[in-house]
Structure 1
Amino acid sequence: FLVRLEPKAVIAYHNHPMEWEVHAVTSGSGHCVCGGENKAYLPGTTALMPMGIEHEVRAGADGLTLLAFFSAAH
């Protein structure tokens, strides 16, 4: 999925109990809090969210665009 966040937009804390999620940042800036760790999101950043782990994404002042990939647990 292509995800575009407006400046300062937030995807509130949530989890995916049966899926892993991978983010690949393509433009803009922001950060993700995943499992209590704060990770800067800049172009080229890739992040993995294990299934069931709470995470939140916050766009910076310039917005944030990322690709989100999901993989079901087998």
Structure 2
Amino acid sequence: MHESLTPRRTVALIALAWLAGGMLLLLLTPLSGRSELLGWTPSFWLMLAPMSVLVALQPRLPLELIAALWRR
């Protein structure tokens, strides 16, 4: 069945793409997680901000993921 793309799902997809891009950028470039000039800003905007959006959309998601890993 085809489900419509709701605004909530759209925001979640954007946050996931943002998180994936940020992780890739931090892994593949010499950009460090913390710098003297910017502090923790690169890590926050590339990883923590999209994670907080996902947690705000689905607060139980981290607990469900941990429970799924625990059951394996």
TM-score bracket relative to the smaller structure: under 0.3
TM-score by length of 2: 0.18
Which structure's residues are more often strand, by fraction?
A: 1
Which structure's residues are more often helix, by fraction?
A: 2
In our comparison, the structure showing a higher alpha carbon Rg is 2
